[in-house]
């Protein structure tokens, strides 16, 4: 069954699609420090976010000892925060999940291997983020299990630029 | 040198200030004055000193003051070396790694009255709580400060003393006070806490013996041994390739023991789901707690972030 499913679009008259929006932007210069909200952030192609711990060359992040090209910017779904509150009774703020961009209306888990526009910047999704115990230590909240398979998306920056709260997120296919 | 994971919050000594006989206040900040990880009133942090010592100190400032960690350190000439290193060797501009803050007042505990009993420099955890409670009005409090003669950190306590919220008892003049009347009657919305030398914490424990445990808190100058799961047992790792032997303390993870021993193991989630720290095992009785290895894989591999051992000896393919 599975081997008949391909990543190509289905042959159908129905148009598949989504459009999302950037709700929150956060960054921090070093591991463990609180994330600070920003109205706009600057993405540098092939490197990362200006001022963020995972900017290549900054080496200030918890995982900086394991450099990873595909972790230049990370995204998280606002819908997951809503679900955590609804299903697990855990209030987690957008400044607490430690990804940079909180989006609404973007099916992040569907985008691995695909390209999409985040405002004026072009990203390529490399892999799903994995929750880590580190985040429980920082937030003091038991969110490791509830975040499995929905802890965000790691991306490479193909085309840099400024991303602002309220920017549209669109498929680049 | 191989890159290692960052395990502490990087701080810089931004200020050192004398605060009474033998006491210095150290102000630690982020190198760029970024906000530091948040803390509760009365929380403490571990300082990873440049000489390798790790020592725990209470934060004296209040949580709203979120770009600094302020600690008060009394130089103990015959102590275990942490206060001497801080007083004698640490200068403004030095870099000190610190842990995330732990402990402190739980704002949701429904407490309306606090009684704090402090002996000398044991006032430090209560300074943060007192400042926080005085500012927010969340609960009523009295801080009884028992000293021989000189009040430590007096400049920081003056206004609270004037308001009568800090009551000083000088043993050189009036002897050791009886703690029971200071503490008063037990009640579900009253919390009593003590930090001081051993004799005082013993007196305090006797005075509060009939209190519900949840309403009594004791902090000692010398930390008691950590509470360990009674089922957790220490064991020894034998590393087949390097020939090294590494002790895993009861309650410690294999990963932490390996890292302490200088063995570089790839890690990521530290919760047994990502597979980054998979290591082969050769002999022993591993206890697998991961959620990723298949039964046949467990016959050869384990995840060092969560696995334990059911035998005293475990041989790893490292």
A123 phi and psi angles, rounded to 5 deg: -115, 155
Predicted confidence (pLDDT) per residue in A63-82, tens digit: 777 777 888 999 999 999 99
In 3-state terms, what secondary structure has residue A141? Answer: coil
A26 within a domain of the structure (yes/no): yes
B43 and B133 both lie in a single domain = no
Query: Tell me, what's the pLDDT at B1?
Result: 39
B1 within a domain of the structure (yes/no): no
Q: What is the average pLDDT across B287-313?
A: 92
Find the domain containing A150 and state its range: 20-171
Q: What is the average pLDDT across A91-117?
A: 96
- Could you give the CA distance from residue B123 to residue B139 in angstroms, rounded to a whole number? 18
Contacts of B32 in chain A (CB under 8 A): 29
B83 within a domain of the structure (yes/no): yes
Query: Tell me, what's the pLDDT at B203?
Result: 92
Query: Tell me, what's the pLDDT at B228?
Result: 58
Given a cut of 50, whether residue B312 has pLDDT beyond it is yes
Q: Which residue has the higher pLDDT, B292 or B207?
A: B207
| A125 CA: distance to closest CA in chain B (Å) | 18
Q: What is the average pLDDT across B171-184?
A: 92
Task: Say how many residues make up chain B.
Answer: 318
B271 closest CB neighbour out of A64, A66, A132: A132
Q: Which of A166-170, B225-229, B306-310 has the highest mean pLDDT?
A: A166-170
Q: Which residue has the higher pLDDT, B283 or B107?
A: B283
B9 closest CB neighbour out of A32, A63, A134: A32
> Of the ranges A24-28, B127-131, B261-265, which one carries the lowest mean pLDDT score?
B261-265
Query: Tell me, what's the pLDDT at A10?
Result: 58
A15 within a domain of the structure (yes/no): no
Q: How many CB atoms lie within 10 A of CB B263?
A: 18
Is the CB of B6 less than 8 angstroms away from the CB of A32? yes
Q: In what order do the strands lie in the sheet with A48-49?
A: A48-49, A40-44, A161-164
Find the domain containing B263 and state its range: 235-316
Contacting B residues, span 277-306, partner chain A, CB-CB under 8 Å: 305
Predicted confidence (pLDDT) per residue in A132-165, tens digit: 888 888 888 899 999 999 999 999 999 999 999 9
- Could you give the CA distance from residue B32 to residue B47 in angstroms, rounded to a whole number? 19
Is the CB of A132 less than 8 angstroms away from the CB of B32? no
Query: Tell me, what's the pLDDT at B222?
Result: 61
Query: Tell me, what's the pLDDT at B299?
Result: 93
B179 within a domain of the structure (yes/no): yes
- Residue B112, Ramachandran bin (φ over 0: left; ψ between -120 and 50: alpha; else beta): alpha
B162 and B252 both lie in a single domain = no
Give the pLDDT band of residue B227 (cuts 50, 70, 90): low
Q: What is the average pLDDT across B251-256?
A: 91
In sequence order, which ranges of chain B are alpha helices (DSSP H)?
Answer: 82-89, 124-136, 154-162, 171-174, 179-183, 198-207, 254-260, 295-298
Q: Which residues pair with A126 in a beta bridge?
A: none
Give the pLDDT band of residue B14 (cuts 50, 70, 90): very high
In 3-state terms, what secondary structure has residue B219? Answer: strand
Q: How many domains does chain A have?
A: 1
The half-sphere exposure of A67 on its side-chain side, counting CA atoms within 13 A, is 11
B255 within a domain of the structure (yes/no): yes
CATH, residue B18: 2.40.30.10
- Please give the ipTM for the structure prediction: 0.82
B32 closest CB neighbour out of A29, A31, A62: A29
B105 within a domain of the structure (yes/no): no
A12 within a domain of the structure (yes/no): no
Please count the helices (runs of H) and the strands (runs of E) in chain A.
Answer: 2, 11
- Contact indicator for B156, B162 with CB cutoff of 8 Å: no
Q: How many domains does chain B have?
A: 3
In 3D, which of A41, A14, A17, A16 has the Cα closest to residue A27?
A: A41
A1 within a domain of the structure (yes/no): no
A13 within a domain of the structure (yes/no): no
């Amino acid at each position: 069954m599975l081997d008949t499913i391909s990543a190509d679009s289905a042959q159908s008259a129905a148009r598949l699609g989504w459009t999302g929006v950037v709700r929150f932007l956060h960054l921090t210069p070093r591991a463990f420090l609180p994330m600070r909200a920003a109205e706009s952030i600057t993405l540098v192609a092939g490197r990362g976010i200006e001022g963020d711990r995972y900017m290549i060359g900054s080496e200030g992040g918890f995982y900086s000892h394991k450099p990873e090209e595909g972790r230049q910017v990370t995204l998280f779904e606002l819908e997951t925060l809503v679900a955590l509150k609804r299903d697990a009774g855990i209030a987690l703020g957008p400044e607490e999940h430690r990804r940079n961009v909180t989006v609404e209306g973007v099916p992040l888990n569907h985008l691995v291997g695909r390209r999409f526009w985040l405002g004026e910047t072009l990203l390529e999704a490399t892999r799903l983020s994995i929750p880590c115990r580190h985040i429980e230590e920082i937030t003091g909240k038991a969110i490791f299990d509830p975040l499995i398979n929905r802890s965000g998306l790691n991306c490479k920056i193909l085309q840099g630029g400024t991303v602002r709260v309220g920017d549209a997120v669109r498929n680049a296919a | 040198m191989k890159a290692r994971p960052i395990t502490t919050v990087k701080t810089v000594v931004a200020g050192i200030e004398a605060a009474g006989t033998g006491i210095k206040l150290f102000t630690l900040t982020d190198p760029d004055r970024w906000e530091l990880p948040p803390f509760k009133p009365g929380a403490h942090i571990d300082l990873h000193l440049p000489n390798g010592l790790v020592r725990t100190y209470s934060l004296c400032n209040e949580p709203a003051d979120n770009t600094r960690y302020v600690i008060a350190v009394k130089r103990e000439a015959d102590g275990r070396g942490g206060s001497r290193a801080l007083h004698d060797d640490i200068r403004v501009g030095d870099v000190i790694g610190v842990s995330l803050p732990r402990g402190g007042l739980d704002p949701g505990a429904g407490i309306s009255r606090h009684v704090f009993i402090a002996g000398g420099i044991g006032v430090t955890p209560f300074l943060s709580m007192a400042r926080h409670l005085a500012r927010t009005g969340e609960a009523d409090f009295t801080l009884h400060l028992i000293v021989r003669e000189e009040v430590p950190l007096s400049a920081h306590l003056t206004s609270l003393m004037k308001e009568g919220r800090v009551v000083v008892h000088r043993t050189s003049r009036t002897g050791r006070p009886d703690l029971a009347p200071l503490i008063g009657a037990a009640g579900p919305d009253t919390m009593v806490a003590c930090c001081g030398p051993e004799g005082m914490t013993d007196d305090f424990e006797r005075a509060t013996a009939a209190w519900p445990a949840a309403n009594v808190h004791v902090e000692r100058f010398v930390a008691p041994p950590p509470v360990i799961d009674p089922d957790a047992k220490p064991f020894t790792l034998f590393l087949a390739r390097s020939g090294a032997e590494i002790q895993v303390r009861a309650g410690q993870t294999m990963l932490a023991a390996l890292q302490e021993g200088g063995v570089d193991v790839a890690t990521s989630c530290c919760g047994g789901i990502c597979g980054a720290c998979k290591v082969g095992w050769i002999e022993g009785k591993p206890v697998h707690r991961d959620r990723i290895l298949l039964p046949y894989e467990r016959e050869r591999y384990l995840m060092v972030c969560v696995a334990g051992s059911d035998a005293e000896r475990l041989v790893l393919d490292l």
